[in-house]
A and B are shown apart, each in its own frame.
Chain A
Amino acid sequence: MIDRFTIGRRALLGGAAGAAALGLTGGADAQKPLVIGFIYVGPRDDYGYNQAHAEAAAILKKMPGLKVQEEEKVPETVAVEKTMESMINLDGATLVFPTSFGYFDPYMLKVAGKYPKIQFRHCGGLWTEGKHPMNTGSYFGYIDEAQYISGIVAGMTTKSGKLGFVAAKPIPQVLRNINAFTLGAQSVNPKITTQVIFTGDWALPVKEAEATNSMIAQGVDAVACHVDSPKVVIETAERAGIFTCGYHCNQAKLAPKGYLTGAEWNWERVYVGFVESLKANKPLENFVRGGLKEGYVRTSAYGPAVSAAAKEKADAAKTAILNGSLAIYKGALKDNKGNTVIPAGTSYVITEPKLESMNYLVEGVVGSTS
């Protein structure tokens, strides 16, 4: 019926979308599906970071009254602004998830200023109240809790006492994962060391394979990693017959023999939460954080190489994390240069802001942050 009037498609969708977002019209969202945009920095089937988001987006697609628009391989440049604008103007998206760290500043902030009625939620935890607009926000998970569990399982499985970790860059989030993994392993055997190799960037397949191989040559028999796509590391390790712990999403299929467990994102929890608030016309939360307890992260099902004793220890630690009786980072904790980083008697909860600026590797990690 509306077609008789000469209203442009963009104006119409924009108006309807804005109205739906503000919750002014109850009828509008019953007729028009709610459009949500997802933007990925890499391919969405990379067995890694982007796939974790895409798997959650696939679950949203099945929800009634919802339309999901995805665009992959969008670089962290002005290109992402164009993608966001086209999602808003052409597809009528009212909620946009730019999922990569580098999309936030300045690109997402700029587009958010231009479209104050559209909601933006960014993955990475960069949003600060008072500093950033209220139609933006961020969400992230404490995945180091899951890495701690991986560390326990790897520590119970290793025979050489040497674990390996292939990492991209020494930034706080990566260091938290390396340290939590090591602390988990040390909780079952204090003598265990973790060898870390930084490749220098998020996706360098040949370097990642080289890093894995040179650690194997040094006697490492279980590896974990923090790169965009763990596929190469997991496959290389499986071929050499050593154990692996996954990251981002479940890689058990790539290593049917050696896969122990893994630290996975569970983004559907976050996304479904946002969508339900939007449907109920409630304001969207701006700052969303959670770990194992909130279900934002999870661990992969144990592989065939995991012993009963290892399962028991890992499950016990998981229960303790869930009921809050286990702190991963507690004093006295030394870094691998001998400095005390957490004094004796102090224990940090996972939400502790000081952990967000972690710049050290704990004792027992062989490696350096520079």
Chain B
Amino acid sequence: MENGGLGLWGVPLAMLAGAIRVSTPFIFVSVGECLTERSGRINLGLEGTLVMGAMSAYAIALTTGSPWLGVLVAACVGLLLGALHAGICQLPRVNDIATGIGLMLLATGLAFFLGKPYIQPKAPNLGAIELGWWSGIPQVRQALQVNYLFVVGIVSAFALAWALKNTRWGLIVRLAGESVDAALAMGVPVGRVRLIATAIGGAFAGVGGAFLSLYYPGSWNEGLSSGQGLMAVALVIFARWDPIRCLWASLLFGAAGAISPALQSVGITEGYYLFSAAPYVLTLGLMIATCSPERALRGAPGELGAVR
């Protein structure tokens, strides 16, 4: 302690810091996928979109010197990949799960191929807001360094939740997701709605990727995502298709991921493999705790292929 350590207090602090640092890609991917799934489409390719977004953001930030331009390009790349997925899925007798997996492999492979020259060089990073100015403890200050994208992620989760509930546009999206027949009877162009929702969902995932390569951990390499995109898609089901709950689930996931290194750093070192599995155990536990024999998955959009 005399050396500036916080002892056991470091663990909750590290979990808070972990929630802030690690959760952002989860927030973006899950909020984006939430929108896509509410329109009745599943996009499993978001893992690939995340990696592609990370690569393109890093490449653009490196060549132009502007990380924010990188974020923008990552969003555009995500938009295109999302639109591609939606476009393919609109063809007759196309399975969106299979297409999603195909696009995931395509996008990761493409990102690895195009990203080769960018592994070595160092691109400028996105800055952070210092929210810990009030504290004299450097650890607290460090934990409260918040990236702008984290704030954007939180705001967009609330905005999406509000829009889905209160706007005409949100009603159309939900309608397309709940019942195609009703939507068609209302004159809603289901295909176009899903195309737009999937493209926007892809753009969100692209921005999540940009966070990975431009802020935390803040460099581009091929193991960067290691399945985070897939986990985030699963989080949407866990969060019962509610953007706000997606946000909480992502934060929880980030915090749980920080448990293992945090415990090891205060000297609780036995069984760290078990602690490393904490996020997944936690997810399973919560899934079991919240499931009910009385009702099916509540909140699941009626048209969603996976739960029908």
Contacts and interface: CB of A to CB of B under 8 A. Distances in A.
A217 B217 contact: no
A157 to B, nearest CB: 15
B222 interface: yes
B285 interface: no
12 contacts: A46-B119, A161-B3, A197-B261, A200-B276, A204-B226, A206-B226, A213-B17, A214-B261, A214-B265, A216-B139, A231-B219, A366-B267
Nearest to B222: A43
Interface SS of A by simple majority: mixed
A215 to B, nearest CB: 5
Contact of A218 (B5, B120, B270, B272): B5
B161 interface: no
A196 B3 CA distance: 17
Q: Which of A47, A160, A213, A236 has the most CB of B within 10 A?
A: A213
B252 interface: no
Contacts of A218: 5-6, 10, 265-266
B97 to A, nearest CB: 25
A73 B226 contact: no
A210 B6 CA distance: 17
Interface of B: 3-6, 10, 13-14, 17-18, 21-22, 112, 116, 119-120, 122, 139, 142-143, 212, 216-219, 221-224, 226, 228, 257-258, 260-262, 264-267, 269-273, 276
B221 A214 contact: no
A196 B228 CA distance: 25
Contact of A204 (B119, B218, B223, B266): B223
Contacts of A197: 261, 264-265, 272
A161 B224 CA distance: 32
Given A197-B265, A205-B223, A209-B216, 9 more contacts: A45-B120, A195-B264, A196-B269, A206-B257, A207-B261, A214-B265, A217-B5, A368-B272, A370-B270
Nearest to B258: A210
Contacts of A198: 264, 272
Interface residues of A, number: 44
Contacts of A370: 270-271
Given A206-B217, A217-B14, A160 B257 contact: no
Contacts of B116: 43, 45
Contacts of A208: 217
A205 B265 contact: no
Contacts of A213: 14, 17, 21, 142, 261
8 smallest CB-CB distances across A and B, nearest first, come from A368-B269, A209-B217, A219-B5, A219-B4, A160-B3, A203-B223, A211-B261, A214-B265
A53 interface: no
Contacts of B264: 195-198, 211, 214, 367
A46 B118 CA distance: 10
Given A73-B222, A218-B6, A210 B269 contact: no
Contact of A217 (B13, B22, B257): B13
A240 B265 CA distance: 17
Kindly name the residue among A160, A206, A207, A208 whose own CB sees the greatest number of chain B CB atoms within 10 A: A206
Contacts of B22: 206, 210
Contacts of A200: 260, 272-273, 276
B273 to A, nearest CB: 6
A164 B14 CA distance: 16
A191 to B, nearest CB: 11
A235 interface: yes
Contacts of A203: 221, 223, 226
Nearest to A200: B276
Interface in A20-66: 42-43, 45-47
A169 B142 CA distance: 28
A204 B265 CA distance: 17
A254 interface: yes
Given A197-B264, A205-B221, A217 B6 contact: yes
A173 to B, nearest CB: 19
A205 B220 CA distance: 10
A368 to B, nearest CB: 4
A118 B258 CA distance: 48
Most buried by A among B5, B142, B258, B266: B5
A232 B217 contact: yes
A73 B108 CA distance: 14
